[in-house]
Chains A and B, each alone.
Chain A
């Protein structure tokens, strides 16, 4: 039997080698691809696992803090701490903290904005014309923010400089209630001229918005030699601008923050605080009640986008006359505003330096004597703080759009046209607001009644214990950043081309406008133990007195971030454990619990209306968080690996089945003769199985070597052990795919076996009168073979459709998220290689079918040639047959792919249907490629011999 098999291999050497090559390449491909798929899956899972666990596993929020968009798209909004008004009680936090399985429960209680100011001194020595007897300089400050898109002019500061002496009444000689006398310029001829008139008393009717430029301009006069200011110091050519910073203040639990985010490790000066640290009690002389000094940790960097541009002009000489003749400060400054001048100096300064200066002052507050002075910005009294509501957004498409929400800025304090003392809000406040619900909370000193002579001060103040660097606080890597990041707001990129172009590739970052879209993270942190000083009834009262604006004294905590005890992995058991604890928290507290484990940052497009100072309407991609990304990724990776392995194996089996069927079919006569000679079915089957198994074994050995060589050449991960799998795979494949045709051919019916296969063709209703119809008719002559070729291609097309569909569905589920993008890129290559291999095997199968068809119909082709058909016509005949198979295979493949995609991805979208159509078109196109070898074979047909032999 073995001898006969050997002689078969030898006699039909080319066919045996072709079969062997096909199996060898198929199993080598299968071995390599399964290896690569496993590696890819491991990479995917590895990447997911590495980024699976953010610093906290659960995010607990009040139910009403969840936007509809979050529920719809399984998202958690990010960076909205500023707009949260609490909703979680201290008891609820404690309950969560005490729950079994919870390692850390870190609360954040947003207090509100505390305004601090710092003087910015502009030295104009180099801008003064030393030859001019008198001159007026105008310093025009402009605040630049929104990546340079917004330029917000502030009120100008004027400096009158004379070489003459100025006489001012020193502070020590001022009399109470006598008003502030203006300085007098002593001219060379001894004449005294009153300059720099002082603003008359401002009545309540004259209050201005704090961003009104009239309330933000100033006039300073300095004289020459011998001139001193009211404090007796020599006059210097400087103007002082006031820079105001709104600090978002929040209370945290220091121990929890240390455990969760390593906040204690990020302290850059001073010291960290402890959870048990309560406000210290102090009393000033003359104060009838004690005040609480809250321990404060200050961010050592501002985390807001802003710079100050200075434009200094020397005004035309007529301006000096205005100063010397003006008797009314308001009218004088208004008149100076319209004076033109010559540019003499420009400067730009980032805000980091004044911010550091301010932080330094807060760390080392001055003496009581200067604490009243707003300009020195070192008072630490907590007279008032402000809260703002969430961004006023409406859902728009897949994202949102912020709506302008104008409000009366006087809630921040009154401005007055009194020479520049009202710069207690940042000028950015004048820009568009998209938040409403601005409220001020004023200290009530717990209702102490003051008696005459008492010092009236708030009963709360801030006591800085240190600074921290927000960049050093660890809240996870880029792929697994968490929502409600307490320490960092990364800003938002442009979401469309126009916005990206407008932003010049920069990122829109939070700025000093606290009612803008993006809010700064908390810059001042205090302890939960300090909260009663603020949230106790009687500590602060709220304006406007609406219930929804009131401090949530009963439930001051905005979010609680929960980290579970022990290792939490990516496995199903871990995920289930997290789910159970999340549900437990939700059940016991009634709060919203989101599982942040396995989440990844994603972008939500938010429309941001144009600003008042140059910022155009923008669409920005606000960083939110997509929940459950990791699980989707791992499941998809698992499903894809299994699916692709099956498909590669299936297409291999079909290719081998086709080749075997054809090989055995070519031997029908020989087998029939053997049957006539008395061989029974078992013996015939044994012969055929021996032959095919032998070829499979040889193909396995070749496949092993091929797999290993290709692995080495292309740097794929494989081992000899894995490569050796090609041998059983090849034998199994050969027997499986070759077994059926062998068993059929071994039927002990010699008559049927030797009967020509093409006899008994039924008469068709319509005769082929064109090359195309003839080609299609040819496809039906061996329908089984045509179907096998088409099915091989079908698998490739189905694989492509499924991959595209999964990619789309997959992208729908996870793209846009950083982790999803990283994994999608990582997983794509091997998937497409696998699909390419299935398609190539499909092409080989179609080519094999065509090859066999031409072999069996060689005489026909020879006849067509003999009667004058051109080569082009003969080629067309073969190409149309190939395309016919391509259309069948492509259509079936696309349909199968759609069905599988619906099963795997949970539905079919129009995009997936288009993918299927594209995959089908691709299948048809590549089927045409398969004609290359058969047509080459056609060229070599021995026409004369065929016609002579028939």
Chain B
């Protein structure tokens, strides 16, 4: 496989990440992982708890730093970024978390706008946020606080927030993990629609095989390593 083909958006090569453990050998969370993801595709990372899915997403999203290996996203070497460049890279990535991480004191609209707060933009932040809320079906809940919203609604707000910077890559870490299956299914529909309608590249960690099956690719992890890969 040509790791540097024009369609390749994400390219990982020999990535390794360990965490020190008190009084023992370090925990290897990601072990020599190489992976490419083409632009406009949806990739599911599957595997049991503790297999390294979230860590791998954090490494791609530059939330964690790898110990070894290279990570390139949209032609940019992620490993080694720091300071302003790191922050700028993160603004090109959208992240959706299992626990939503909405700011409890902000309304849905303000939560969507939160990533833009410190920055000047040449567009109307509120208008974009409303647009995104409408896109995730929450146009009428813009003024609601997270505490007044259901889990599914909160996750939609989180997805809208992840999209506010028009990311080239959307990383979703167990986006349905805290939701019932019906709501979870709707969230997956939403994420895959983004791929279909906007060409958003999606890497989604999930332990749900059904969800994984709906993605373009499913990559399985165990003990920090990629074990199998299936193309749907």
> Which residues of A are at the interface with B, using a C-beta cutoff of 8 A?
758-761, 763-764, 767-771, 774, 777-778, 781, 859-860, 862-871, 873, 876, 943-944, 947-950
Contact = CB atoms under 8 A, between A and B. Distances in A.
B143 interface: yes
Contact of B84 (A758, A759, A760, A870): A870
Contacts of A770: 117
B105 interface: yes
Can you list the 10 inter-chain pairs with the closest CB atoms, starting with the nearest? A950-B99, A868-B91, A867-B115, A868-B90, A873-B118, A870-B87, A944-B58, A767-B110, A863-B101, A944-B64
Given A769-B117, A771-B118, A868-B90, A950 B95 contact: no
A865 B110 contact: no
B36 interface: no
B114 A950 contact: no
B102 to A, nearest CB: 9
Interface string B54-68: 110010010110000
B201 interface: no
A870 B55 contact: no
Contacts of A859: 101
A769 B105 contact: no
B105 A781 contact: yes
Given A767-B110, A769-B113, A943-B63, A867 B91 contact: yes
8 contacts: A759-B147, A767-B107, A859-B101, A867-B90, A869-B115, A870-B118, A944-B55, A947-B63
B143 A866 contact: no
A868 B165 contact: yes
A759 B64 CA distance: 30
Contact of A948 (B54, B88, B103): B54
Contact of A771 (B88, B117, B145): B117
A864 B147 CA distance: 20
Contacts of A768: 106, 110, 117
Nearest to B158: A863
Contacts of B93: 868
A509 to B, nearest CB: 71
A871 B83 contact: yes
B160 to A, nearest CB: 12
A871 B145 contact: no
A778 B93 CA distance: 26
A950 B174 CA distance: 12
A421 to B, nearest CB: 99
A944 B63 contact: yes
A950 B98 contact: yes
A768 B118 CA distance: 11
Interface in B145-194: 145, 147, 161, 165, 173
Given A863-B114, A866-B61, A866-B63, 9 more contacts: A758-B104, A760-B147, A761-B147, A769-B126, A867-B90, A867-B95, A868-B87, A871-B83, A947-B97
Given A867-B165, A868-B91, A943-B63, A761 B110 contact: no
B95 A769 contact: no
Contacts of A949: 99
B125 interface: yes
B109 interface: yes
A756 to B, nearest CB: 8
B218 to A, nearest CB: 21
Q: How large is the interface on B (under 10, 10 to 19, 20 to 34, 35 or more residues)?
A: 35 or more
A774 B117 contact: yes
A769 B118 contact: no
B63 A860 contact: no
Contacts of B104: 758-759, 761
Given A866-B95, A867-B95, A769 B147 contact: no
Contacts of A774: 117
A853 to B, nearest CB: 12
A871 B147 contact: no
A761 B145 contact: yes
A763 B145 contact: yes
A950 B107 contact: no
B54 A860 contact: no
A759 B147 CA distance: 7
Given A943-B63, A947-B63, A865 B101 contact: no
Interface string B104-136: 111101100111011000000110000000000
A950 to B, nearest CB: 3
A936 B95 CA distance: 25
A674 to B, nearest CB: 26
Contacts of A873: 118
Most chain A CB within 10 A, of B61, B63, B98, B100, is at B63
Most chain A CB within 10 A, of B87, B92, B109, B147, is at B87
A943 B86 CA distance: 14
A758 B105 contact: yes
A767 B98 contact: no
Nearest to B178: A950
B133 to A, nearest CB: 14
A771 B113 CA distance: 12
A950 B113 CA distance: 20
A389 B63 CA distance: 92
Contacts of B103: 860, 863
Contacts of A758: 104-105
Contact of A871 (B87, B100, B107, B173): B87
Given A868-B90, A869-B118, A947-B63, A763 B147 contact: no
A408 B101 CA distance: 100
A950 B97 CA distance: 9
Nearest to A949: B99
Most chain A CB within 10 A, of B54, B114, B125, is at B114
A781 B98 CA distance: 25
B125 A866 contact: no
Nearest to B62: A866
Nearest to B64: A944
Nearest to B113: A769
A875 to B, nearest CB: 11
B149 to A, nearest CB: 13
Given A770-B117, A947-B97, A761 B105 contact: yes
A767 B88 CA distance: 25
A356 to B, nearest CB: 86
Contacts of A759: 104, 147
Contacts of A870: 83-84, 87, 118
A865 B114 CA distance: 11
Most chain A CB within 10 A, of B54, B64, B118, B173, is at B118
Given A767-B106, A781-B105, A869 B87 contact: yes
Nearest to B107: A767
Nearest to A760: B147
Most chain B CB within 10 A, of A767, A777, A947, is at A947
B99 A769 contact: no
B132 to A, nearest CB: 14
Contacts of A950: 97-101
A533 to B, nearest CB: 98
B106 A948 contact: no
B83 A763 contact: no
A867 B161 contact: yes
A763 B107 contact: yes
A602 B101 CA distance: 70
Contact of B101 (A761, A777, A947): A947
Contacts of B92: 868
A317 B63 CA distance: 110
Contacts of B147: 759-761
Contacts of A767: 106-107, 109-110
Contacts of A867: 90-91, 95, 114-115, 161, 165
